[in-house]
Amino acid sequence: MLIRHRLILSNLIMFIIPFVVILFVAGGAYLIFTESNRYAFNNPDEDKKKVHLVEYDIREYSYAMLNAESEELFSYLQKELQEKILLKGYHLLIMCDGQYVLSNLTDDDWYALGEEKSPVVFSENSAVMILRASNIVKYMFQKDEKQFHLIAIQTRDVSSIEKKLNYFFRSYLCCVILVGLFIIWFVNMMLSSSLAKKINKPLELLRQGAREIKNGNLDFDIKYAGNDEFSQVCGDFDEMRKRLKYSEEVQAKYEDDRKILIAGISHDIRTPLTVIKGYIEGLRDGVANTEEKRKRYIDMIYNRACDMDILVDKLFLFSKLNMGNFPFNFKILDFAAYIAEFYHRVKNEFAEKGVDISYYQLCRNHLKVKIDSEEFKRVLMNIIDNCFKHRVRDRVDVKMILFLEDNEVVLKISDDGGGVSESEINQVFTSFYRGDPARSNSCEGSGLGLAISQQIILAHGGSIYAVNDNGFHIFIKLPLA
């Protein structure tokens, strides 16, 4: 998972989990608090039940008092009603034509009657009122042309209840906040720890890789199997390491090639210069004392100078190719027709030198390839010249075979010579390499032909390599256009 997706998910989890858990905790705490404190607060359901019981008692006793046949019974019923509703927490006031007959009301009861609902309480209607600070039941009946009001009242200490409620909500709120903070902290720690592990692992790999590179060690791998941004970073870092290692290897090879190049240049220039110097000394010392000898000496000097000129041209071409400064003129050509035309043009020329060339086309015509026709001709000439210069008999057979392989056109050029040893097969494209450590035959080749050919083929986006198989075989592969 990508880091940014993981961060988004972590933020959602840090919100959702605490929210859900806090919701459950808050509900559970509320139930616990209300259950443990339900007797300390006003219970509306209980109040309704009691007030209707008191109303029933008042109606029942009012009916009994209405039918009482004596004053003694009437007074007894009043006192009995007073005692009965007192057990339910209510006080009783009985009035007759506006005069107080019986009362056990407290000051709070009188205050509740006088301040809150006196117009209703003292009206001629029966009523049941459940108020904030009191519950009132009023019933009125007439007997012997007298009007009786029975008023039952229960008052509550509102300030005490409010204090208990405030204490309850403060305790409840503190509990929820503390539990919520703990849950948020716990979830945050768990997610942060998990995210830190996911980030620290690739960072440690990168730090270790940087230390290895700093210490000059490029022979290590950075293996990170994650599926996030760090996988790309670690992959790029490992790719950088591989390129640095490749650059070091190329640089080392370049240094080796440079040493070989300098040694080759020194040898191949010194050899003709020594010959030129010897013939000039012969001319100067009068060794060439006849016209024929002087002409032969001069011809030898000229030929060696021409050899040096050819060598310098090849060195200049190789340098430009190696630096990537050579101006190629690429065109898309029919490669099969191009090779066939080259074969027909040079076969007779090489036959006179002792090289018998044969050509086989194992693929269709109209193979479009992007090449520089002149420089590719130079490659073919260099390879065939190499076959001629390293022949083991008077005549050498060279086969050119054209075929297709994996969307690439392949040209195979083979001879029937002795080839080279397996230890030298990978060095034939090295500049100044001739497979002759003594370099005694410098006049027959500069050792730059195959090196130049390789640079040209690489510039064409292709590849070239050599193998031994009953002779020396060179394969040239070019991509189709």
Among 38, 31, 23, smallest CA distance to 165 is for 38
Side-by-side strand order, sheet with 355-361:
355-361, 396-405, 408-415, 472-479, 463-468
Q: Tell me the Cα Rg of the chain.
A: 58
* Residue 165: predicted pLDDT: 65
H or E element at residue 119: helix 118-121
Q: Do 346 and 357 form a contact (C-beta atoms < 8 A)?
A: yes
Q: Give the 3-state secondary structure of residue 475.
A: strand
Q: Which of the four pLDDT bands, split at 50, 70 and 90, describes residue 444?
A: very low
Q: Give the 3-state secondary structure of residue 460.
A: coil
Q: Do 95 and 151 form a contact (C-beta atoms < 8 A)?
A: yes
How far is Cα 240 from Cα 283, in angstroms, rounded to an integer? 62
How far is Cα 477 from Cα 475, in angstroms, rounded to an integer? 7
Global confidence as pTM: 0.46
Residue identified by tokens 């205050």 is 111
Hey, which of 18-22, 152-156, 226-230, 316-320 has the most confident mean pLDDT? 152-156
Among 107, 61, 109, smallest CA distance to 83 is for 61
Instruction: Measure the CA dihedral 94/99/101/106, to 10°.
Output: 60
Question: Does residue 260 or residue 295 have the better pLDDT?
Answer: 295
Residue identified by tokens 């605490």 is 18
Runs of H (alpha helix) within 390-443: none
Q: Most distant CA pair in the chain: distance in Å? A: 187
Tell me, what DSSP letter sits at residue 132? S
* Residue 361: predicted pLDDT: 93
Instruction: With a cut of 50, say whether residue 326 has pLDDT above it.
Output: yes
Tell me, what DSSP letter sits at residue 330? -
Structure tokens at 431: 């500049």
b/e map 426-436, b = 16+ CB within 10 Å: eebbbbbbbee
Instruction: With a cut of 60, say whether residue 235 has pLDDT above it.
Output: yes
